[in-house]
Chain A
Amino acid sequence: MNDHKIIFTGPVGAGKSTAIRSLSDIAPVSTDELATDITAERKEQTTVAMDYGVLKLDGGETVHLYGTPGQERFNFMWDILTQGGIGLVLLINNSRPAPFTDLHFFLSAFEKFIDTTALAIGITQMDKADSPTLDDYYRELPAKYFNTPIFEVDARQRHDVVILVESLLFSLDQCLEA
């Protein structure tokens, strides 16, 4: 469990798979084919559709990118998934019927993880649904998350996903120099 990882979460169609694919060095695979640290702990869960990607750093280190499975199932796994994680990227699909409900669901599901690490939120599909607006999301956010970056994101655009991850890292450490 020493490996570094960034967790991508959010409701169905929010762009988790796409975002991980935008960043990953390898063609992302799902846990069906892969024995990860999580599946090592709970073998019977290996068929969960989970996204996985990898970023290889210059020094030889690896940053794993994990996408969580659907919220209806397996949320008990998220604890294991997030152990040692750098931070959480939450993608919210703006074209779903109740995006704020999704927002609160994921914030509370990952509350412990967020409170000890950091959070960056990308609102996707804003080209399809332009409300709620970013300001609406900021208003909706619980007060303790006041400094969370929220951006309009198209998961298909690597540029957007890079800025999300960048903001996550700078939120954790403003003295970080690029």
Chain B
Amino acid sequence: MNTTAEQDGFQDNDAPVRICLRGIEGLGRKSLAFLFSTQANRRLELVDEHPDAITIIDVDDYRGKAAWKEIQSREPAGRPTILLGLDAVAQQGAVALQKPFRTKDILAAIDSLLKARKPEPEPAAARQDSPKRAQDATTRVEGTGRRPRLSAHAATSLNERELHAFVGSAADVDLDDPAARASIEYSPHRFLAHRLGDLVLSATREDKYLRLSCCDAQFIVDPKKRCIHTDVEKSRLRSLGALPMAGEPARRQKLSAFPDESESQKWQCFSWEALIWRMALACSRGRLPEGTNLDQRYQLKRWPNLTRLMLFPHATRISAAWVASPLSLKEILNRLSLPQRYVFAFFSAASAAGLLVDAATHPPADTMENTSKQQPRQRRGLFRRLLKTLYKKQGDHRA
């Protein structure tokens, strides 16, 4: 049996030193990206987030400040971090660099963090130790703690690392606090998933092939086959989805016909739902698109094709709630009492894929309450035990 993480047909290759930036935008981000790309003897890769990443934070920026606060509270044991600031001070295991600094200073800081990095314990086990994680009942460690199992959904085989790469690990924040909100937001227009989502909308509306060229990659939305053709290799899709495009010009082009074989021979075709869903999870990592209105009601046009998508904990439950009635983010968080990151990840993926839409634009569904369905509450205990049995077997099945 396939592992669930690969159920949507994609796989990832792991590799280099990953670096993520917080509170560093515009020119700052560009120059660091350039610097890293010129380091032939170090493989430095800018990522949006990653459990093993070194985080570089500009603490003079309010988003950077919020991110640093968040890291401090979430990972008191420390996480490899470089703090940049006019009067940055080293604290809690983080290296500080006072502005202005030179390129060799920041490279030296990265090297020192890499050296300090001891052979790591199993990441899942390490995270399990932190008090915040322990409260979160979505994972539990069996036996030796080497193979954590998700107990909350059918995707038992989604491992901790993948979970981290797609749903993140952000703790819940106070959504009424602007600074806290800023720390869990991303700009959707800077990520490929959302661009492709827009492209799919246009391609369907116009019933035309549309091509998007950017990031050294080509994508052609095919409204007939409801798929996206691309020359990108499977293994690169997640990192491409996770990387902000940093204002890079993307070329959009209408095609009258599909390119002939000489050009598209080596291309692959992915279901657009599966491709966009996966890429959107990679860029969201449990965060919300910037400016999302928490009181606005949304509804699923239909169930996501969960058997063929990157499945993560609670996705089935969230789908059921959002398909049944129009709900705002606040309402759904309230109703399901889930950690925010699962709901935000779902929101990002389902809206990028065009499945979750403004309830006002969605023709009011036949939402009559079905009064005859009295059995659920009485049977909740049974259902819970049944799910547990199904998930447990799923895990055993894999082992």
Contacts and interface: CB of A to CB of B under 8 A. Distances in A.
B349 interface: no
B376 interface: yes
Interface of A: 4, 23, 55-59, 61, 63, 86, 115-118, 122, 133-135, 138, 143-144, 146-153, 157-160, 162-167, 169-178
A138 B363 CA distance: 14
Contact of B365 (A23, A116, A147): A147
A178 B302 contact: no
Given A162-B390, A178-B152, A151 B366 contact: no
Contacts of B387: 166, 169, 176, 178
Contacts, number: 143
B237 interface: no
A146 B300 CA distance: 10
A165 B4 contact: no
Please name the 9 residue pairs, one residue from A and one from B, whose CB atoms are nearest each other, closest first.
Answer: A173-B376, A170-B320, A149-B303, A57-B385, A174-B321, A151-B307, A178-B152, A160-B307, A147-B323
Most buried by A among B4, B307, B394: B307
Contacts of A122: 307
B322 to A, nearest CB: 9
Given A63-B386, A134-B305, A175-B336, 7 more contacts: A4-B382, A4-B386, A61-B382, A115-B372, A146-B365, A166-B153, A170-B319
A177 B151 CA distance: 11
A71 B122 CA distance: 53
Interface string B355-380: 00000000001100010110111011
B319 A134 contact: no
Contact of A116 (B324, B372, B379, B390): B372
A169 B388 CA distance: 12
A159 B7 contact: yes
Contact of B380 (A115, A153, A164, A173): A173
Nearest to A160: B307
A119 B387 CA distance: 17
Contact of A178 (B324, B373, B391): B391
A66 B307 CA distance: 22
A174 to B, nearest CB: 4
Nearest to A86: B379
B397 interface: yes
Contacts of B314: 178
B318 to A, nearest CB: 9
Interface size for chain B: under 10, 10 to 19, 20 to 34, or 35 or more residues?
A: 35 or more
Contacts of B306: 149, 151, 163, 167
Most buried by B among A55, A134, A162: A162
B386 A172 contact: no
Contact of A150 (B153, B303, B366, B385): B303
Contact of B394 (A117, A153, A158, A175): A158
A172 B319 contact: no
B13 interface: no
Contacts of A169: 383, 386-387
Contacts of B303: 148-151, 167
A90 to B, nearest CB: 14
B292 interface: no
Contacts of A143: 366
B335 to A, nearest CB: 7
Given A143-B366, A171-B320, A159 B4 contact: yes
